[in-house]
Chain A
Amino acid sequence: MKQKNNLKAWLYLLPAILFLGVFMVYPLVDVCFYSLEENYHSISQTYTGVGLGNFGHVLSDPFFIQALKNTLILVVITVPVSTGISLLIALGLSSVKALKKAFQTIYFLPYVTNTLAVGLVFMILFARTEYTDGLINALIQAMGYEMVDFINGPYWAKMLVTCLYTVWIVMPFKILILTSALASVNQDYYKAAKVDGASSGRIFRKITLPMISPTVFYLIITGFIGAFKAYSDEVALFGVNLNEAGMNTIVGYVYDMLYSDKGGYPGYAAAAALLLFAIVFTITYINLRFSKNKVQYM
């Protein structure tokens, strides 16, 4: 009886297994092979040896180092900032009564807006062209400071715009999730804490934050993973030639190694992709270990 049920179960799972196997598992395994095949030639489909040569090449490639640096800066800045601001906004949203729905809609709008369209808006705001200095520069000038070219100018300016852009585009989702997490906290806890004489700061630290900690933690983990995979946002701001702009990311580097003018090196691309995987894996693992005592699963 049990055997029969198992068979049925496998049968039901078969379509999904087949699909995932062909389109997920096989490519994943294949990437591992690619990364080990040295000097792979894509046309003749030959390689000279098996080893860690691809990894060595990638790690000594200045473009990869630049991409790695950019990605790390992006991750370290945008994840805490976006999560923090989202939490503040969500707290604000859950305490206002009038126009709550309107505010929620406004804050959610970036989520349904196309990345490239948003990039265009940021370009208009920040870029300096022959015709205009851009809205932000107009403001800077009005305040009496020197104008900066945020799109083709110094590195810090470009990084600033990228961070702003990333924070702005990831916030709606976080606000949405945090608002619902806050709404699901039983109001009686707040009432009890109030009667017990807790200040609002203490209520936030001792009641609210622990109550929504699983959600915050979820957002931090997915935020890290998402930020490490950054690519399209940079393209939206700086165009496809990210190396020239000095704003490439690891995913951008992988793409370049495969498809750009300098591309055609699946070995390097695979090695870079696996390095990215290793970094994300390590960070997530550390996150999990670190937060074990902080996150309260009720």
Chain B
Amino acid sequence: MKVVLENLTKQFLSRQKKGEIVTAVNNFNFEIPDGQLIGLLGPSGCGKSTTLNLISGLETPTTGKIYFGDEDVTNLPPEERGVGLVFQNYALYPHLTVEENIIFPLQNLKGAQKMTKEAMHQKAVETAKLVQIDGLMERKPKELSGGQQQRVAIARALVKIPKVLLLDEPLSNLDARLRLQTREELRRIQRETGVTTIFVTHDQEEAMSISDLIIVMKDGVVHQIGKPQEVYDEPVNLFVAQFLGTPQINVFEGEIRDGKVWIGEEAVLDAQGREDRKVWVGIRPEGFIPDENGPFTCRMDRVEVMGRDVSVVSTHDKMTGKSIRSIVSAENKFRPDQTEVRFSLKPYKVFLFDRESEERV
């Protein structure tokens, strides 16, 4: 089922300042293709959870419309939309067993959809098998580990075969190892069921690793939508460039002058045909090549060994962060007494943003 968001806007009255209106989601337009896994990505407070609540029907938009397929669901309450929702804290009913939790949505079915006890049990077992918790059906949620609870929550959301599956920060309550495992699992379950899935996360790595598409939001505004690699390789503005990628992109004050990109007194790259202006120069950590004759000089701070790669930490007068991180092959050798390091740059790893608007140029 494709999901269409049309001019979706949600405004709240501010709690702190009386009468002030906060726009949580601002004019969101997008058509989410059928059967895909979508990562809704952004820093906290950017409106991604609100977007999820709008799609689920827990909140109604101030303006704009939501379509599931061709059906306008904007004014339908959550129970009539046929969505499955997995909460950040899972919200498993603590007094019910795993099976009772999974069956709960089925017991609410009315009319022609009503199921017999036997059919419900069948369906619960089937769904439990899909998420591999069929051995735990008699347990109470508190007798389960975080990862298991997560699976129960997903099973409960999936048992009704929802048109859309929504997950709010699905991995944030799991420890690091489990998170890796679970995200693979999420991908597998989504592939097997083919349900259009939207998940919210503030972890860019998580979003990039499993999504078909990612949507980057900030302050209620969608900044970029695209395949993860595309968004990483072609960020539309400084925010997106900074938000994606670990370590973060290195940003320098620079300018375009005489067909070259200048950082301080050094012309680091060609920029033929560009008009002169002040810019932010963003360089991905992997965009640096150690080169004794390179055009870009930084003060060497230290080298962090990571095995396959090394991370060179250096500083520069024109940098904006605390230090510059560059990831280079461990085959490059650095002397311990080295005070200066010179790089040449990979042009496709360098992005230029307007100093004022912060848009890509």
The chain B residue sitting closest to A296, CB to CB, is B95
Chain A residues within an 8 Å CB radius of B109: 197
**What is the distance, in angstroms, from B198's C-beta to the closest C-beta of chain A?**
14
The chain B residue sitting closest to A213, CB to CB, is B95
The stretch of A17-25, A94-102, A188-196 in contact with B is A188-196
Q: How large is the interface on B (under 10, 10 to 19, 20 to 34, 35 or more residues)?
A: 20 to 34
Q: Which of A189, A198, A296 is in CB contact (< 8 Å) with B108?
A: A198
Task: Say whether, besides A195-B58, A196-B104, A198-B108, A189 and B93 are in contact (CB < 8 Å).
Answer: yes
**What is the distance, in angstroms, from A19's C-beta to the closest C-beta of chain B?**
40
| A207 engages B93 (CB within 8 Å) | yes
Residues of chain A from 165 to 199 with CB closer than 8 A to chain B in the complex: 186, 188-189, 191-199
Chain A residues within an 8 Å CB radius of B104: 193, 196, 198, 206
| A188 engages B78 (CB within 8 Å) | no
| A191 engages B87 (CB within 8 Å) | yes
- CB within 8 Å of A: which residues of B? 56-58, 77-80, 83-85, 87, 89, 91, 93-95, 104-105, 107-109, 142, 156, 160
Chain A residues within an 8 Å CB radius of B78: 194-195, 197
| A189 engages B91 (CB within 8 Å) | yes
Assembly CA distance A196 to B85 (angstroms): 8
| B95 engages A195 (CB within 8 Å) | no
Interface size on A, residues (CB 8 A): 19
The chain B residue sitting closest to A211, CB to CB, is B95
The chain B residue sitting closest to A202, CB to CB, is B108
| A188 engages B89 (CB within 8 Å) | yes
B interface footprint on A284-298 (CB within 8 Å = 1, 0 otherwise): 000000000000101
Contact sample, A vs B, 22 pairs, CB 8 Å cutoff: A186-B91, A188-B87, A188-B89, A188-B91, A191-B58, A193-B104, A194-B77, A195-B56, A195-B58, A195-B83, A195-B84, A195-B85, A196-B108, A197-B105, A197-B108, A197-B109, A197-B160, A198-B79, A198-B108, A202-B107, A206-B93, A298-B142
Task: Say whether, besides A196-B156, A198-B79, A191 and B105 are in contact (CB < 8 Å).
Answer: no
**What is the distance, in angstroms, from B123's C-beta to the closest C-beta of chain A?**
14
Assembly CA distance A194 to B56 (angstroms): 10
A-B contact count (CB 8 A): 60
| A192 engages B108 (CB within 8 Å) | no
Chain A residues within an 8 Å CB radius of B108: 196-199, 202
| A194 engages B94 (CB within 8 Å) | no
Chain A residues within an 8 Å CB radius of B85: 191-192, 195
The chain A residue sitting closest to B159, CB to CB, is A196
Assembly CA distance A189 to B58 (angstroms): 13
Assembly CA distance A193 to B96 (angstroms): 13
Chain A residues within an 8 Å CB radius of B83: 195
**What is the distance, in angstroms, from A221's C-beta to the closest C-beta of chain B?**
20
B interface footprint on A32-67 (CB within 8 Å = 1, 0 otherwise): 000000000000000000000000000000000000
**What is the distance, in angstroms, from A228's C-beta to the closest C-beta of chain B?**
30
Chain B residues within an 8 Å CB radius of A110: none
**What is the distance, in angstroms, from B83's C-beta to the closest C-beta of chain A?**
6
**What is the distance, in angstroms, from B199's C-beta to the closest C-beta of chain A?**
15
Assembly CA distance A210 to B101 (angstroms): 14
Chain B residues within an 8 Å CB radius of A193: 93, 104
| A192 engages B91 (CB within 8 Å) | yes
| B79 engages A192 (CB within 8 Å) | no
The chain A residue sitting closest to B83, CB to CB, is A195
**What is the distance, in angstroms, from B162's C-beta to the closest C-beta of chain A?**
9
Residue of A186, A196, A298 with highest tally of chain B CB at under 10 A:
A196
Assembly CA distance A296 to B87 (angstroms): 22
**What is the distance, in angstroms, from A27's C-beta to the closest C-beta of chain B?**
42
